Copies of this chain bind each other. A is one copy, B any other.
Amino acid sequence: MPARQIDPPPRLLMGPGPVNGDPRVLRAMSAALLGQYDPAMTALMTETQGLYRDVFRTANDATLLVDGTSRAGIEAALVSLIVPGDRVLVPRFGRFGHLLVEIAERCGAEVHVVDAAWGETVPLERIADAIALVRPKLVAVVHGDTSTTIAQPLEELGALCREAGALLYVDATATLGGNEFRTDEWGVDVVTAGLQKCLGGPSGSAPITLSRAAVAVIDSRRSVEAGIRADDEEAAPPAERIRSNYFDLGMILDYWGPARLNHHTEATSMLYGARECARVLLQEGLDAAIARHRRHGRAMLAGVQGLGLRPFGDLEHRMTNIVAVHIPEGVVGDAVRAAMLADYGIEIGTSFGPLHGRVWRIGTMGVNARRDAVLLTLAALEQALRRAGVAVPAGGGTEAALDVYGGKP
């Protein structure tokens, strides 16, 4: 049978992301394509850079998109900054900390780790001690690690790194747009993100911003591709050539910058989507969007507690946009998740590694950080839990969430 036109089933995506796309973002994905050097296209690229400066709260000129998923942004940052042999320090408190270690290792770094148990944050003094001991060129850390739903405090880390002469990289994929994040104020050198969490878009584009200090490291490793080099240009690659062409941020900056040197062919539709994500977010207002995530996240937390579920991890440091709960004794977690999807069209998540099958993760992010999405999820979860044999208070979830909302709709 020939394949049919695409027709995804209706879903409410209340897992750790991807979440439902904002309808305006999805519509933008269908806009007509443009040539990559069309003035209309380069103007859209420049506009998108400006929008993401506001989203990242930065004045960094070097603010742009990497064409790939959020993980592509991480790898572009690390491979462009790390020269093989460099010391890198990773404060690690979840799965995506492991990912930073793995990518840094593959870049040839000598990687050192400060570990916290999953569900906790890494104390600043332990990071400070490690920095003093290791003297890293780069500190790389996840802001909010969806695997544990915990956010690492970053307010003072930038100053600590600057004092030690280290660059600070932060993976803000899961937090940007729904949690406070202040690139310049916090002194973060490089930040990367994705669209599929609080920004309410599809995976496939990775916004990134780089400080002057980070760009200076990349500048020392710049080269121009042979196939587009003018005859009189320097041919020898730099001594510490970046190990990847696709993720060579020097080249990507030359493509987005005034030189407009050809590199990849910009993923036009993803650019449109990324631009619309930022536009929609800034139209609401960054503060308002973060407050909205906080409010609906609090309602969801109260709701799952009202259903008798026990939250996982340090509630003082939870992300606004996702909550993890222990799967009750004797319940097969994946069976409840499957029932939620099959019977109610609602997706919730499990986690990875040591938490796989031990917790559920329920997200309230992007366009899904809203009242009806929270209340429907709690109403359905109550039914699914009861059917799975859990003694669950009738209306316990929705009532607790409604209490958080108070009189306000």
**Which residues of A does B touch, CB under 8 Å?**
2-3, 5-11, 13, 15, 17-21, 24, 26-36, 38, 40-41, 44, 47, 50-51, 67-72, 75, 79, 94-99, 101-103, 105-107, 147, 194, 196, 202-204, 225-231, 237, 241-247, 262-270, 272-273, 275-276, 279, 282-283, 341, 347, 349, 352-354, 356
Q: Are B265 and A267 in contact (CB under 8 A)?
A: no
Q: Are B106 and A243 in contact (CB under 8 A)?
A: yes
Q: Are B267 and A269 in contact (CB under 8 A)?
A: no
Residue in B24, B31, B67 whose CB lies within 8 Å of A69: B67
Q: Are B34 and A11 in contact (CB under 8 A)?
A: yes
Q: Are B3 and A32 in contact (CB under 8 A)?
A: no
Q: Are B75 and A67 in contact (CB under 8 A)?
A: no
Q: Are B3 and A47 in contact (CB under 8 A)?
A: yes
Residue in B31, B36, B40, B196 whose CB lies within 8 Å of A265: B196
Shortest CB–CB separation between residue A73 and chain B, in angstroms? 9
Could you name 5 residue pairs across A and B whose Cβ atoms are closer than 8 Å? A3-B279, A8-B40, A13-B34, A75-B245, A243-B243
Shortest CB–CB separation between residue A202 and chain B, in angstroms? 4
Q: Are A202 and B270 in contact (CB under 8 A)?
A: yes
Q: Are B44 and A75 in contact (CB under 8 A)?
A: no
Q: Are B204 and A242 in contact (CB under 8 A)?
A: no
Taken together as a complex, chains A and B put the C-alpha atoms of A107 and B247 apart, in Å, by: 13
Taken together as a complex, chains A and B put the C-alpha atoms of A71 and B92 apart, in Å, by: 32
Give the one of A17, A19, A227, A347 with max B CB within 10 A: A227
Copies in the complex: 2
Q: Which residues of B contact A194 (CB under 8 A)?
A: 265
Q: Are B18 and A268 in contact (CB under 8 A)?
A: yes
A72-B246, A279-B3 known; A32 vs B21 contact (CB < 8 Å): yes
Q: Which residues of B contact A272 (CB under 8 A)?
A: 6
Inter-chain pairs besides A72-B72, A194-B265, 6 sampled, C-beta below 8 Å: A8-B32, A11-B32, A35-B349, A70-B264, A72-B264, A204-B267
Q: Are B341 and A38 in contact (CB under 8 A)?
A: yes
Q: Which residue of B lies closest to A279 (CB)?
A: B3
Q: Which residues of B contact A70 (CB under 8 A)?
A: 264-265
Taken together as a complex, chains A and B put the C-alpha atoms of A231 and B356 apart, in Å, by: 11
Q: Are A13 and B35 in contact (CB under 8 A)?
A: yes
Q: Which residues of B contact A71 (CB under 8 A)?
A: 245-246, 263-265
Q: Are B226 and A102 in contact (CB under 8 A)?
A: yes
Q: Which residues of B contact A20 (CB under 8 A)?
A: 32-33
A227-B353, A245-B106, A269-B273 known; A264 vs B69 contact (CB < 8 Å): yes
Q: Which residues of B contact A102 (CB under 8 A)?
A: 225-227, 245
A67-B204, A98-B226 known; A265 vs B18 contact (CB < 8 Å): yes
Shortest CB–CB separation between residue A83 and chain B, in angstroms? 13
Q: Which residues of B contact A79 (CB under 8 A)?
A: 244
Taken together as a complex, chains A and B put the C-alpha atoms of A387 and B33 apart, in Å, by: 28
Q: Are B8 and A34 in contact (CB under 8 A)?
A: yes
Shortest CB–CB separation between residue A190 and chain B, in angstroms? 16
Q: Are A202 and B33 in contact (CB under 8 A)?
A: yes
